[in-house]
Structures are given as structure tokens and as C-alpha cells.
Chain A
Amino acid sequence: MAERYAISKVNVPEGAAVPELVKMKMEKEEKLAEEKKQALAAKQKAREEERAKLKERTVAYEKEYADTAAELVKLRREAKLNGNFFVEPEAKLIFVVRIAGIMKMSPKPRKVLQLLRLKQLHNGVFLKVNKPTLNMLKLVQPYVTYGYPSLKTVRELIYKRGFGKVSKQRIPLSSNDIISDALGKHGIHGMEDIIHEIYTVGPNFKQVSNFLWPFKLSSPKGGFVNKRHGYCEARGGDWGNREELINELLGRMN
């Protein structure tokens, strides 16, 4: 807190008599400036330590991602070798984008979209995959499109369009301090921590995802196919689950 003291400089002309109140103010400001200097030095030190730790964690995360990917490759090859079928792991993470506008929305899907924090066209949120969320998505199928985002998509969304909810305000994630202040108690101190928690759907996914303000995406460059129909229909459409192919869409919307 002392780092943010606003110290005002009092300009006293050379040789002029200093009024009593001005003198009092100058002394007070000096003391505060001293406190501020010390607080800033302490903050700088703490910051360097934090950054070193964050760097280590990031390297560990990179390794983790690479390892999990390599593991999957290995298992697929093994299965093929033995003539077995490899059952791909079910997705843990979903990214949902609201496709429909706000006009003429029936009450139940409207409520579900509110609960999912999709209050505006092209808003997107990260969701954990479990029975309740899947059932909610069932209710709003024609109004959203969703799928399983890749690591690249998650990173790009959070770096480019990441905003945090700080005292009910939408604050850009321009510094790790913002993240540390909000999520420090869950062990999340930086952007890479957020990305890891989201992508691997960790124990604090709910807190991290809720901290992230719903993503406000652009309309996709190149357009939708047909928002009135489902993605899986033969005639071509956009709503519903498009699994891995959400990444292509998000590449155009981000």
C-alpha cells in the first residue's frame, strides 16, 4: 500500500519565507516519501523472487504439456501395434461461444445462458466437462457453439483477450500483480499459471475461470456457415458441439 502514496512536490521559491502550514506539509510528505521508497524496494525484491518462481513453474508446465502429448502418441502407437483400439481420453475442457443474439430468447435458455455468463453475442467462457455442465449445454444447444480448445487456443485467448474481474470491474490482464492479488491464495500468480489451470482443469479451475471475465470475441473472419442450423447437420450449420474444430473457429474469432 505504501508503494502507492501520492507524494506532492511543494515548490518553494529560493530565499522565500516558508509559511507554517507549508512547512508542516513538506515534513509530512518527506516522511511518506521515505516509507514509499522502502515499500517500493521491498516490492521490487518480492517481485523478482516471484518472477523467478514463475519462470521455473512455466518451464515445468511446458514439460508437462509436452509429456502428456508424447504419452498419448505412445499409447496410440502401442495400441496399433497390438492391433487394439486406443480410446481417446474424453475432453475435460470446453470453450463455449454464444451464437445467438438477445432478441426473442425463451426464458429457460435465457436463464441458462445468464448462468453460463454468456450475456452477449460472441461471448465465450471456459467450462469444465461434467454432467451438470453438459446438461446445461443441452438446454442451450441452438444458441451456442462449443468444442475442445487446444493449448494454442487457450494461450492466445488469455493473452489477447484476457480480462480479470477485480472488484466487479473488467480489468485487462496487463500485469501479473493483478492475477497474484486476486488468485494468489490459490497459488496462481501469473498468466502461465492461469493457462495451466484452465487447460489441465486443475483443482482451482472454478476460481480461475470465474476470475476471467467472459471473453468478448470478434465475429469470425470469413463468417459462419449458417447459425440457424446445427454444425452436425448435413446441410451445414454452426450451433452445437464441434469438438476439436472449435479451434479453427476461434482462430478466426480471436
Chain B
Amino acid sequence: MATARPVVSIYNFENPSEKTGTMPMPVVLQSPLRPDLVREVHRDMAKNKRQAYAVKPKAGYDTAAESWCTGRAVARIPRAPGGGTHRAGQAAFGNQARGGGMFNPTTIWRRWHRRVNVTKKRHAVACALAASALPPLVMARGHKINQVAELPLVVSDGIQSLTKTKQAKEALKKLGCGEELQKVIDSKSIRAGQGKARNRRYVKRLGPLVIYNEDNGITRAMRNIPGVECAHVDRLNLLRLAPGGSFGRFVIFTEGAFKKLSDIYGTLKSGAPKKKGYTLPRAAMANADLARIINSTEVQSVLRPKMERYTHGIKRNALKSKELMEELNPGSTERRAVHLKSSQKGTPEYDEVQKKKKARIEESKKYNKEHKKGDETFYKTLMKAFEAKAAADAAKKAAEKADDEEDEE
């Protein structure tokens, strides 16, 4: 992520306007943010504190009920035996029956707990710590940190020795947590749901989580302040760092605790000294600035240039569109113009055509005069066929008439 480790100021717990020193930010607080991981691990870890519930094993089946079978004008459901009481003959056992067992009775051997891989749990805690160092995420979670000087908020070790709640409250207020603490007090309300009757009457928001290294009274001082929780840096709980699965809890470190973070988690190179075989999570992308990567010379130099798309537009008909015809058939407009001219009187093209026509008619007449005269005309040659037949018919008729006359005589 970041190239150089930023430096965090340590605030004097008695007089927070003055800074007692600085410290480089531990590498944990620069872990990649993985809300999905935190949510998943929190979901599974939160299941581990559950207590089993179930209906009694015999619930609904503690009768000697038997079905009356058919033939008695009643439904076939098992019925309680005996007599002398309302219960006799009443339906039993089925989930639909009054006093019967439930469908799919809840069992105590339901899998209540979940195991989570240790590395996953450790990554989730690292992630949640990193989120607590980012003001926008902490504000998004709902904490009022407008008056807080810096995130991560590191306070000098003196705060660990506070014994009185009054003093602790003063110290927190001076550090700028006043608004936060007030938010918690204002948020106390009666729980919705049956929990109110089960010794979980009130709900309120969560305030800051104070992470300390040496408990010289701080837990007892802070424990009665509504909303404030304390945690030892060696034993950080994801359920407290990311309540409800949302990371970005407002965290206040003491100087010792902050220093110890580097000792516990180490760096990406060294691994975590206090957690065997564990190294902090690495980001999936070392450089997540996509715009810069894409526009870098290394990438751009091997890309081919962006091309315009082929657009063919709507197909037009060249037989109707003169421009398109000229485009597809160069010179067609010229030729067409010349051709049209030949039908306009007075143009040389027109005269040319008329000349040819005249010549053709002359030729035809000459040919006809030569080859088609006398008996060679079309009509005569056509009629020759009919005349032959007509002559034959006439001869036949004359012969018949001659026969008839002979017969008469």
C-alpha cells in the first residue's frame, strides 16, 4: 500500500493538546482492507458463544395415542386413548394436532459452533485494526470522532494507571471522545423483541475500544463508562474490533500497546514474531491505481492504437440513388447524361441517333426491294400454303359434284 510508513503522534493523557512523542505506524495498520473476510470470520466466530436450544425430545409424543384407522367416520390421525376426560379421542402426535409434536423438532445436536482457520482469524484482526486507523471508515461505522486529534489515537502510558472512573471519563473527554460518549448515553433504549424479558432489557451503541498493554487499573476505571470497552493488545478479539461484522471500530491505543503491535505482528518481510508461522496479509494488487497502470508507458507502448468501428449504415439502393451509383460505378453519371442528351432535340447526340435510325430504315427498305418482291413478299409466301390447300379442296368438290350429276342421270 503506502510506500513510506507515516508517523503517529503520541498524546499526553493528562494534557492531550501536547504531544509527548512520535512513533512510526506499525505495518499491521497498513494491511489491505478486506470487509468480506472480516464479515465472514465474524459471522463464524459469533456463532461460538451460542447456547443450545431445542424442544424436549419427547415433546408431543408423551401419549399412548394410536390411530383409530378407517371405518369410524373420523380422520386417521393417532388419537389419545382411554376415556373420562376431554383428552380422550383427541388427535395427537402430528404437527397439525393440538398438543402434538412440532415438524422437524429442534435438536441440541445442531451444529452450533464453527471453526475458523487460525490464519483467517489473524488476517481478519489485522484487517480490522487497519480499518480502525482510517477516519472515513470509523465515521462510517457511526463513531463521532470530529473532535479527535488523530487516528490512530495513541495516548501516553499514564492512562493505564488510572483507577477512578471520574478520572478516566475526564481523560477521554479531553481526548475528544466527549461526543462519542454522549452518543452512547443517548442511545440507551429498551430492546425490541423478547430479549427484553430475558435479561437483555436495554441496548445501546458501542463507544471507543481502549487497547492497553499493562493493566494498572484502567479496566476497572473504564468499565463503568457506558460504551467504553477495554482490551489487552495481546488478546484482541475480532468480535470487539469489528462488531456486527463491520470494521472501523473507534480504537484508542496506549503508547505501550501501540509499540507492542509491531512486536506482535512484525512486518511483511519478517513475519509475526509472536504468532508462529504467521505473516501479515498481502494485498491482491500491489499497485491498485488502475488508471495509472493503464496509462503508463510500459503498457501503452505495446498496445495497438484504438480503431474506429466499421459502420456500414443503412443499405441504400444504387439504382435509386445517383450519388451511390456514381460511387459504385465511377463515370456512370457522365454516361447517363450523354445517353439522356440523345433524346433531346438539337443536341449532336440526338442528331447522331436520328442519323443511325434513318440509315437503318434505308437499309431495310433497300433489302426488301432487292429480296422481297413479286412472289417473294411475306404475304405471298404465307398465302402460298393456303392457296395450295384451297386449290386441292376446290378440285375435290368439283370431283364430287361431277359424281353426283352422274348419279342423278
Complex contact B330–A51 (CB within 8 A) = yes
Is A125 an interface position by the 8 A CB rule?
Answer: no
Check if A190 is an interface residue, CB within 8 A of chain B: yes
Q: Tell me the nearest residue of chain A to B304, going by C-beta.
A: A1
User: What separation, in Å, do the CA atoms of A121 and B237 have in the docked complex?
Assistant: 74
Contact (Cβ within 8 A) B295 A175: no
Residues of A within 8 A of B308 (CB): 4-6
* B307: contacting residue among A5, A51, A159, A163, CB under 8 A: A5
Question: In the bound complex, do residue A174 and residue B297 qualify as a contact, i.e. CB atoms below 8 Å apart?
Answer: no
Say whether A209 faces chain B, with CB atoms less than 8 Å apart. Answer: no
> Quick one: which of B289-326 are within 8 Å of A by CB?
291-292, 295, 297, 300, 305-308, 312-313, 315-319, 324-325
| A32 on interface, CB distance cutoff 8 Å | yes
The distance from the CB of A151 to the nearest CB of chain B, in whole angstroms, is 14
Q: Does A28 contact B (CB under 8 A)?
A: yes
- Closest-by-CB residue of B relative to A190 is B328
Contact, CB under 8 Å: A21 / B331 = no
- Do residues B331 and A175 form an inter-chain contact, with CB atoms below 8 A? no
Question: Is B263 on the interface with A (CB-CB < 8 A)?
Answer: no
Q: How far is the CB of A12 from chain B (nearest CB, A)?
A: 16
Q: Is A120 positioned at the interface, with any CB of B under 8 Å from its CB?
A: no
CB-based contact A32/B328 at 8 Å: no
Residue B329 CB within 8 A of the other chain: yes
Query: How many Å from the CB of B67 to the closest CB on chain A?
Result: 60
CA distance A6 to B311 in the complex (A): 13
Contact check, B315 vs A174: say whether CB atoms are below 8 A apart.
yes
Interface residues on A, range: 20 to 34
- Most chain-B Cβ atoms within 10 A of its Cβ — which of A2, A163, A172? A172
Closest to A175 in B: B327
- Checking A5, A6, A172, A191 against B312 with a beta-carbon cut-off of 8 angstroms, the contacting residue is A172
Kindly list chain B residues whose C-beta atoms are within 8 Å of the C-beta of A52: 330
Contacts of A176 in B (CB 8 A): 327-328
CB-based contact B306/A5 at 8 Å: yes
Interface residues of A in 160-199 (CB under 8 A from B): 160, 163, 171-176, 190-192
The answer to whether B305 touches A24, judged by C-beta atoms less than 8 angstroms apart, is: no
Q: Given A5-B308, A6-B307, A174-B324, A54 and B330 touching (CB < 8 A)?
A: yes
Q: Which residues of B contact A163 (CB under 8 A)?
A: 315
By secondary structure, the B interface counts as loop
Task: Kindly provide the distance from the CB of B259 to the nearest chain A CB, expressed in whole angstroms.
Answer: 40
Q: For the complex, what is the distance from the CA of A52 to the CA of B331, rounded to whole Å? A: 9
A174 touches B307 (CB 8 A): no
Q: Cβ of A25 and Cβ of B331 under 8 Å apart?
A: no
Closest to A50 in B: B330
Rounded to whole angstroms, the CA-CA distance of A163 and B316 in the bound complex is 12
* Bound form: Cα–Cα A159–B316 in Å: 9
Beyond A58-B330, A192-B329, whether A159 also contacts B315 by CB under 8 A is no
How far apart are the CA atoms of A37 and B306 in the complex, in Å?
15
Q: Does B312 lie within 8 Å of A174, measured CB to CB?
A: yes
CB-based nearest B residue for A5: B305
Asked whether, in the complex, the Cβ of A24 is within 8 Å of the Cβ of B329, the reply is no
A78 at the binding interface (Cβ < 8 Å)? no
Roughly how many angstroms separate A192 CA and B328 CA in the complex, as a whole number? Answer: 8
Inter-subunit contact A21/B295 (CB<8 Å) = yes
| Distance of A62 Cα from B329 Cα, bound (Å) | 12
In the complex, chain B residues whose CB is within 8 Å of the CB of A32: 305
B317 touches A175 (CB 8 A): no
From residue B381, how far is it (CB to closest CB) to chain A in Å? 13
Judging by beta carbons under 8 Å apart, are B295 and A59 in contact? Answer: no
- Measured CB to CB, the residues of B under 8 A from A are 291-292, 295, 297, 300, 305-308, 312-313, 315-319, 324-325, 327-332, 335
User: Known contacts A5-B305, A174-B324, A175-B328; can you find 13 more A-B pairs with CB under 8 A?
Assistant: A1-B307, A4-B308, A6-B306, A8-B306, A58-B330, A59-B331, A159-B317, A160-B317, A172-B312, A173-B328, A174-B316, A176-B327, A190-B330
Closest 6 CB pairs of A and B: A172-B315, A55-B331, A51-B330, A6-B306, A159-B318, A191-B328
Can you list 6 A-B contacts (CB < 8 A)?
Answer: A5-B306, A6-B306, A21-B292, A32-B305, A58-B331, A160-B319
